[in-house]
Amino acid sequence: MTKSKTEKPGAGAPPMEAADLAIARRGQKVQSAETGMIVLKSLGQLGGGATISALAAHVGEHPAKVHRYLSSLISAGFVEQDLARGRYMLGSEAILLGLAAQRQSGALRLAADATAELVEKLSVSCFVAVMSDHGPVIVHWDEPAQAIVINARVGSIVPVLWSATGLAFAAFQKSDLIDTLINRELASATEEQRRQFPDRRAVDAMLEGYRAQRCTWVRNWLLQGVSAVAAPIFDAAGHVPAVVVGIGVSDSFDVRPEGPNAKTLRDSAARISQRLGYVVPESA
């Protein structure tokens, strides 16, 4: 009897039909995608960065298998490899995906809606920032027709101590993460920056002054010729989910806490906070 051309010699079972083979391959792809997502989620659960051994232990798979999935995630831009420290970190595509999800939250929707009005009132660029594991990150940006040109965009991470944005989070939101970021920035500060904040006590004193004014401001700190004012947005629990910021040319942008720019930003942030259910404490 002549063997069928589709049957392998010695095979004990009939050949798989083309439709069944396609279904099996789709199942393998789905399973691979699910495993890849588990690896990516685990990396996020480990703080956004981990060695392959730590990641494999967290996932419960052999390091060689995890490495294969990491290679695919690196190719897609969801993971980056820090060769110097032997760590894998969340990549730009993962960050952008997280930002897209964050924009759907109530605080960010309200803040993003408010920046267009702020740009019209102040005639300067305005943006919204949230706190990430790596520092404050810009998630929304609006600008006037004659905007200043700076090297910042949606997705940019700014320092805590050297930006009005970061100082707003530090002044109005206590957390271990912010303390860690402040200490790290102090340790790597330049001589000029150390003159501004020689030690942690100087930082705490400055933050207390900002709290009294309900906003933060810097002039020529992060960028020469550029100044900014930032105001915190509070949610019902008193946390700071976002900060709204106005940024302009130092020669014409008034950063005084009693000035019109600071007042406009504070009022806008207060309205958003009220809509989120925030009630100003009686002692404030």
Secondary structure string (H, E, C) spanning 49-92: EECHHHHHHHHCCCHHHHHHHHHHHHHCCCEEEECCCCEEEECH
Ramachandran bin of 238, using left for φ above 0, alpha for ψ from -120 to 50, beta for the remaining angles: left
Q: Which residues contact 259 (CB under 8 A, 6 or more apart)?
A: none
| Residue 243: Cβ within 10 Å count | 30
pLDDT in tens, 171-225: 999 899 999 999 999 999 898 888 888 899 999 999 999 999 999 999 988 778 8
Question: Do 18-95 and 103-275 agree at the fold level?
Answer: no
- Between 27 and 209, the more confident residue is 209
Q: Which residues contact 190 (CB under 8 A, 6 or more apart)?
A: none
Predicted local confidence at residue 12, as pLDDT: 53
Tell me the residue length of the chain: 284
Q: Are 15 and 4 in contact (CB under 8 A)?
A: yes
CA distance 205 to 85: 35
Percent of the chain with pLDDT over 90: 38
Confidence of residue 6 (pLDDT cuts 50, 70, 90): very low
What average pLDDT does the segment 264-275 reach?
Answer: 93
Confidence of residue 134 (pLDDT cuts 50, 70, 90): confident
Residue with tokens 């200490």: 183
CATH 1.10.10.10 fits 18-95, yes or no: yes
Predicted local confidence at residue 161, as pLDDT: 93
Predicted local confidence at residue 9, as pLDDT: 45
Q: Which two tokens stand for residue 95?
A: 């960050």
Confidence of residue 1 (pLDDT cuts 50, 70, 90): very low
Of 4, 3, 89, 11, the closest CA to residue 46 belongs to 89
H or E element in which residue 249 lies: strand 242-249
Which of 29-38, 97-106, 215-224, 226-235 is predicted least confidently? 97-106
CATH numeric code, 103-275: 3.30.450.40
Residue ranges per structural domain of the chain: 18-95, 103-275
Confidence of residue 147 (pLDDT cuts 50, 70, 90): low
Which of 50-54, 137-141, 144-148 is predicted least confidently? 144-148
